Amino acid sequence: GAGVSQSPSNKVTEKGKDVELRCDPISGHTALYWYRQSLGQGLEFLIYFQGNSAPDKSGLPSDRFSAERTGGSVSTLTIQRTQQEDSAVYLCASSSNSWGADGYTFGSGTRLTVV
């Protein structure tokens, strides 16, 4: 596609429920990142995928968070047993190589609200 697509754009869920957030990167981009941004805060790195290598999960805040990337393309971020502090905008970015020589393209994000 022309850009990074994320779905849904907004998600309201009850505390304790599981949610899945989807990211469609730009076709051919091998690097994919997930970030989250709480209201009025900067971006917090969550997880990084590069090609077929094992993902770097060092930014995931707890074991309730997991992500996968199927076929080196679409990625899904799963949050189990959501908590109110999980409320944030979750952003996905992709790049044509691991160090973003051509820049990273971000999606518009998924706004998650846990009530």
Partner 1 sequence: DAKTTQPNSMESNEEEPVHLPCNHSTISGTDYIHWYRQLPSQGPEYVIHGLTSNVNNRMASLAIAEDRKSSTLILHRATLRDAAVYYCILRDKSGSGGGADGLTFGKGTHLIIQP
Residues engaged in binding partner 1 (CB under 8 A): 4, 31, 33, 35, 42-43, 45, 47-48, 50, 53, 56-59, 91, 93, 98-101, 103-109
Give whichever of 13 and 37 is closer to partner 1, judged by the CB atom.
Answer: 37
Tokens of 87: 């409320």
Q: To the nearest whole angstrom, how small is the minimum distance from the Cβ of residue 66 to partner 1?
A: 15
Give whichever of 17 and 113 is closer to partner 1, judged by the CB atom.
Answer: 113
Contact partners, residue 12, CB within 8 Å, separation at least 6: 113, 115
Q: To the nearest whole angstrom, how small is the minimum distance from the Cβ of residue 77 to partner 1?
A: 15
Q: Say if residues 46 and 58 touch (Cβ distance below 8 Å).
A: no
The dihedral built from the CA positions of residue 109, 110, 111 and 114, taken in this order, carries a sign that is negative
Give whichever of 14 and 63 is closer to partner 1, judged by the CB atom.
Answer: 63
Give whichever of 85 and 102 is closer to partner 1, judged by the CB atom.
Answer: 102
Strand order, beta sheet including 75-79: 5-7, 19-24, 75-79, 65-69
Q: Say if residues 33 and 25 touch (Cβ distance below 8 Å).
A: no
Q: To the nearest whole angstrom, how small is the minimum distance from the Cβ of residue 16 to partner 1?
A: 28
